[in-house]
Structure formats: structure tokens, C-alpha cells
Amino acid sequence: MEKIIKGKAFVLGDNIDTDQIIPAEHLVYSLTDPEEMKNYGKYALSGVPQKDAGLPNGGTVFVDDGNYESRFNIIIGGANFGCGSSREHAPFALQVAGAKVIVAESYARIFYRNSVDGGFVIPYDTPQKLNNKIKTGDELEIDLTNNRLKNITSGDEYLLNPLGDILPIIEAGNIFEYARHNNMI
């Protein structure tokens, strides 16, 4: 598993719910058919109102038209990220779109657990609000060993809350692999 994750930021507001992450009308695609699965990436974050997406000058969308993967692999959110329904499709869609890490002020509990248990994305939380300090398109570096986020674009650095007990699950790939490696199943 990578210990340093580098990439471009996509900044979102507070209370981004699972219906904004993957709108219900796009839940018709198979989760196992590789061709249909791509559509979860294509429509990831397509329900987010532009006012909540922190896009400069009307800027860009998470996944450009005609693509299934985003050029942004680090999402910076505000408070209560992933609120709404308990659908597992939400962190799955972000993973299919190429997101590796979400850094948010706080999470809805079920979204956080789904992210970890399925091994979809790494949900970091932070002791301070960052979605007002980082801009969409900023180049970031996240150090999983030292729980540090560096904004390469601005030179600013921020401490992240340690991953704690979820780190071994993330390193194993998902909750089932963790349980297998630890002779729990």
C-alpha cells in the first residue's frame, strides 16, 4: 500500500450527501460487470450543486464529459461528509472514479464505515476546516505514516487525525481481507 499519496484536490462544501455523491438514478448499473461498473465513476459527484463544489470561476466537474475517471484523486470536504442514505455505492463510486483519499472535517458514520470496510477510499478527518484553505486543482501530498497533508501548490502543511484502528483494515484492503489475515474467518 502506498504510504505517500499525491494528486490534485477536488474541494467540496459541508453536508455532501450520498445522493450527491452518486444520484439514485445511476444505481442501476451492475457492481460486478466491469463495463457497467465504469458508470459509477462517470457519475460520481454528479449530484453536487455547483455552489457546494468550490469550483473556481464555474471551473470544472469531478469527472469530465466522456470520461469514467477523474483527474482529481484527493477530495477535500467539510463537515458531515457522506450524510444521507447508507448506500455503499457512494464510496464505491468515488473509488471507481479514481479517488484514493477523502479529507473531511467530519463524516456520517455509515459512510465512514462503508469506506473502510469495503476498502474503497481512505477517510481522513482533520482537526480543522480545510475546505476553505485548499482550492480545487491544488497539488497535494498525503503522508499516511505521519498523518500529514502538504499542499504543494501553496506550501502549507496540515496535521490530520491519525487513522488509528482502521489503518490495519485499510492496509489489508478491506474488512474481509483483514479478518482473513487475522484468522477471524
Whether the CB-CB separation of 24 and 160 falls below 8 Å is answered with no
The model carries a pTM of 0.94
Residue 40, domain CATH = 3.20.19.10
d(Cα 171, Cα 157) in Å, to the nearest integer?
Answer: 24
Tens digit of pLDDT for each residue in 38-69?
999 999 999 998 776 766 555 568 999 899 99
Measured between alpha carbons, how far is 60 from 50 in angstroms, rounded to an integer?
9
Range of the domain at 91: 4-181
Is residue 72 within 8 A of residue 9, CB to CB? The reply is yes
Split into its structural domains, the chain has a count of 1
Residue of 124, 69, 66 whose CA lies nearest to 96: 69
3-state SS of 88-109 is CHHHHHHHHCCCCEEEECCECH
Q: Is the pLDDT of residue 161 over 70?
A: yes
The stretches of the chain forming alpha helices (DSSP H) are 18-21, 34-42, 89-96, 109-117, 167-172, 175-181
Residue pLDDT, tens place only, 26-36: 999 999 999 99
pLDDT at 164 over 60: yes
Give residue 59's pLDDT: 54
Of 100, 109, 90, the C-alpha closest to 43 is: 90
